[in-house]
Each structure stands twice: as C-alpha cells, then as structure tokens.
Amino acid sequence: MSTISFDIIDHLADIQPGSHLDELRSQRPQARENAQKSYSALFDPDDAGNVSALERYAVATFVTGLHRQSVAADFYAAALQKLDRPDIADIVDAEITRGLAKGPYGRYPEGPLSTEDEEGPDYRVFPGHEEILGARLAAALQHAHLLVFHPRDANPEALQKLLGAGWSTTDIVTLSQLVAFLSFQIRVVAGLRALAATSNHTSASSGEAPVFTALLASGAL
C-alpha cells in the first residue's frame, strides 16, 4: 500500500506511488510513518516550545548544506526563504561555505584509541555575522557543526555554551534531535536514490518494465 499524503523522504528521494522503491518502503510501514512523524514533530510541532520556526529552518538549511546534499538543502533553504528574513538566509548560506569539512573526525577519551584521533576544524560563526544571527542562532550553528562532523568531540562545555546563549535544557534536546534526525533523513534519501538508480540497470531484464517506465516518467533517474 502506498501513502497518498505528503511524505518528505519520498519527496526528497523522488519516489513515486506504485514504484519499486515505494513498494520496498511500504514493507517497513512503521519506519516510514514515524520518519515522517519525526519530521512533522520537528518542523510542524504541536508544541514548538521556545524553538522558533526560523531557528529550526536556519539550522536545517545549514545541516543539509554542510552535507552537500543539494535536493534536501534546496528544500530547507526554500522553506527558510519563506520566513522573510533574507538577511539570515544569506548568512546561513555564507556560513555553509565557511563550515564545509570532511567527517567524522575528532578525539577519543585518552587511551588506546588516541592513535585514531583525527584533527579537523573547530568551526566558529564569522564574528560579523553573529550580530545579525543573534547569540542564540550563532551558538546553534556552531553546535550543529560539531554534531554533523565531529560528534565524538562533544563535551559538557559545548552544552554550556548553548545554555549561556539562551537555550534551555529542553530547547537543547529539540535542537539535538533536529540535527541528529536530519543526519538520518539525508542518509535515507541518498541511500534510496542510489538504490533506485541501480535498480534501473537491472530491472529491464527482470520483468519489472512497468517500474522502469514509472521511474523514467517520474524523472527519478
């Protein structure tokens, strides 16, 4: 059974109803439904608490941009644009370029794994940008960069910086979930896109011509 209502992963991975990938996803219905509910709870929450839509979409644009996943990045950037803060959208865009790196890097607790420690950038928002972003959003971007590229460097001081910038304990849980969830969503989308692309190579000879045609028609390839 395929879903009729909007599904963000299907949208970002270009999965059409009735396609081979749609059928595969339908075999993990709870995973599919709850990946969608996670997205809704983070981007259209019943109770937003103190974390504004602007903060949620600015961080999401930053995280997807740092992953260099253009479909997801464009989606969240477009949502950010609609919030009528072009100054913030421009700065987030510039900060993505400043923040690009390769992960996962970071240090382990001192011991046998120290030989695997990998150095990487300790990203800070450009000081001139912090004024426009505000202390709260600037701290959130810095924390998001830590979680995206080098989560094993995390420590209580990183959380203390968020508290100091006005994030409550509950706000920090929401922010952490948002960055961590997007790290999941981006990977599912990229994985399913890669699978759809290679399924095409094999399906023409395995009696799945209708799927092949549907994918072609959808522009998914």
Partner 1 sequence: MTETTLTYPDNREPSAFTQAELGWLPWLEPFPSDQLTERHWAGLVDPSRARSPYFLLLARDPDVLQARTKADKDIFYNTSNGLPRAERELAATAASRSNGCIYCASVHSRFATQYSKRGNDIQRLLDEGVDARVDPRWDAIVDASVALTATPLDFGDAQIEDLRKNGLGDLEIVDVINGAAFFNWANRLMLSLGEAAPSGKTSS
Alpha-carbon gap, residue 18 to 42, rounded angstroms: 28
Tell me the per-residue interface mask from 80 to 99 with partner 1, x by CB under 8 A, - otherwise. --------------------
| 122 CB-contact burial (10 Å; exposed 0-12 / middle 13-18 / buried 19+) | exposed
Residue 69 makes contact with partner 1 by CB under 8 A: yes
Q: Which of 191, 210, 216, 217: binder of partner 1 (CB under 8 A)? A: 191
Residue 177 makes contact with partner 1 by CB under 8 A: yes
Q: What angle do CA 144, 140, 10 make, to 5 degrees?
A: 55
92: closest CA among 115, 122, 62? Answer: 62
Q: Which of 108, 134, 135, 218: binder of partner 1 (CB under 8 A)? A: 108
Q: From the CB of residue 31, how many other CB atoms can be counted at a distance below 10 Å?
A: 12
Nearer to partner 1, 67 or 129 (CB): 67
Tell me the per-residue interface mask from 27 to 46 with partner 1, x by CB under 8 A, - otherwise. xxxxx-xxx-xx-xxx--xx
Alpha-carbon gap, residue 196 to 19, rounded angstroms: 10
Residue 124 phi/psi, 5-degree rounding, is -130, 140
Q: Using CB under 8 A, which of the segments 72-80, 125-133, 140-148, 213-221 binds partner 1?
A: 140-148
- The CB-of-131 to partner 1 minimum distance in angstroms stands at 25
Nearer to partner 1, 87 or 114 (CB): 114
